[in-house]
Amino acid sequence: MKQLADFCQLFALILVIYLFVYFILAGVAYWVFYVLKKETMQARKIQLRVPDKKIIRHEIKWSLITMTMLSFIGAIVISCVLKGYTKMYYSVAAYGWLYFFGSMIFCIFLNDAYFYWVHRFMHLKAVFPKVHRIHHLSHTPTPWSIFSFSGVEAFILYAIFPVFIFFIPLHPVALSVIVLFNMVNNVSGHLGYEIVPGKLHRHWLFKYSNTVTHHEFHHAKVKCNYGLYFNIWDRLMKTNHPDNEKKFMQIQKRILSQKDSAGTAPEHEVARHILMGKPSNLDKGYLNN
């Protein structure tokens, strides 16, 4: 009975942490961009469509379900960690600082590759309706959608994290950074507003990182832009939407235009230039074999 009580406490603790981070990250991002700075951020808005309350409730509901499921899995994994069944280590000196930082970079790039291929798998005709459609009901995603998945999709997407813990020596801080990086990236990718500066995107060090526009196109057009953090696999497999860069530069020009006019342009004049088109038919949101 004590073991069960300890497990329940661990599960509850992980869930509370998930909820806290989710509502802080997603809540603050939504409040700033969709409420507090809505008018001044209009030039950064990628799509003209505005998510309604129904879809936001949908995103929060499925995110809560996903976080509950991930907390249960997390409690099992951490129980294994506490019993010494994993590769987790606690002293940086055991592997050194170079390995400490290298392990984080390696896992981030490995997760990026893993996500790309399972994401494409979930867009197959036979898989999409059963696994991935719930997430794509957010045609115009908001930060609340970062965990809006079906149970099967959530399991597939996050299965790689236990693999990290069981097979790769990781320091708890390194693992925490990897998880937090993933959550922050998901919030920004589902923001609906382009926050990546044009100069940064063109810099040689960051030009292979995905913009917000990149993932927004995926939600709007469906059969393109499958990458997570980086634009490496979409480039290699030629799955980038052809208008990614064009749309990104349009937004940058709107931002500069808004700054030049000191924000005096009427909101509808700015919004008039936001051209994304209608969302694709979700029943056809799959890759042809």
Distance CA 79, CA 83 (A): 6
In-domain check, residue 289: no
**Contact residues for 219 (Cβ-Cβ < 8 A; gap 6+):** 136, 138, 139, 140, 141, 279
Residue 275 pLDDT grade (very low, low, confident, very high; cuts 50, 70, 90): very low
Count of alpha carbons within 13 angstroms of residue 199, beta-carbon side: 1
Q: Of 218, 217, 189, which is closest to residue 120 (Cα–Cα)?
A: 218
199 or 146: which leads in pLDDT = 146
Average pLDDT of span 23-40: 93
Q: Helix crossing, 151-158 with 53-82: angle to 10°?
A: 50
Lowest mean pLDDT among 147-156, 203-212, 227-236: 203-212
In-domain check, residue 70: yes
119: number of Cβ within 10 Å: 20
Burial of 271 (0-12, 13-18, 19+ CB in 10 A): middle
In-domain check, residue 44: yes
Q: What is the pLDDT of residue 16?
A: 97
Residue 273 pLDDT grade (very low, low, confident, very high; cuts 50, 70, 90): very low
**Looking at the predicted structure, is the pLDDT value of residue 262 above 90?**
no
> What single-letter amino acid sits at 21?
V
CA distances from 130 to 61, 123, 135, 223, 253 (A): 18, 10, 11, 17, 40
- E strands, 132-204, are none
Q: What is the pLDDT of residue 205?
A: 76
Tell whether pTM > 0.85: yes
User: What is the domain extent for residue 134?
Assistant: 2-284
In-domain check, residue 181: yes
Number of domains in the chain: 1
Distance CA 194, CA 58 (A): 23
In-domain check, residue 23: yes
In-domain check, residue 143: yes
DSSP 3-state of 141: coil
3-state helix, strand, coil in the chain (%, to 5): 65, 0, 35
Lowest mean pLDDT among 45-54, 118-127, 247-256, 273-282: 273-282
Distance CA 198, CA 206 (A): 11
Average pLDDT of span 230-249: 94
Residue % of the chain over a pLDDT of 90? 71
The dihedral through the CA atoms of 263, 267, 268, 270 has a sign that is positive
In-domain check, residue 10: yes
| Residue-wise pLDDT tens digits, 76-117 | 999 999 999 999 999 999 999 999 999 999 999 999 999 999
Distance CA 235, CA 174 (A): 29
Q: Of 285, 273, 281, which is closest to residue 249 (Cα–Cα)?
A: 273
**Looking at the predicted structure, is the pLDDT value of residue 277 above 50?**
no
In-domain check, residue 91: yes
Residue at token pair 């052809």: 242
**Looking at the predicted structure, is the pLDDT value of residue 270 above 90?**
no
DSSP 3-state of 25: helix
**Looking at the predicted structure, is the pLDDT value of residue 289 above 50?**
no
**Looking at the predicted structure, is the pLDDT value of residue 235 above 60?**
yes
Q: What is the pLDDT of residue 272?
A: 42
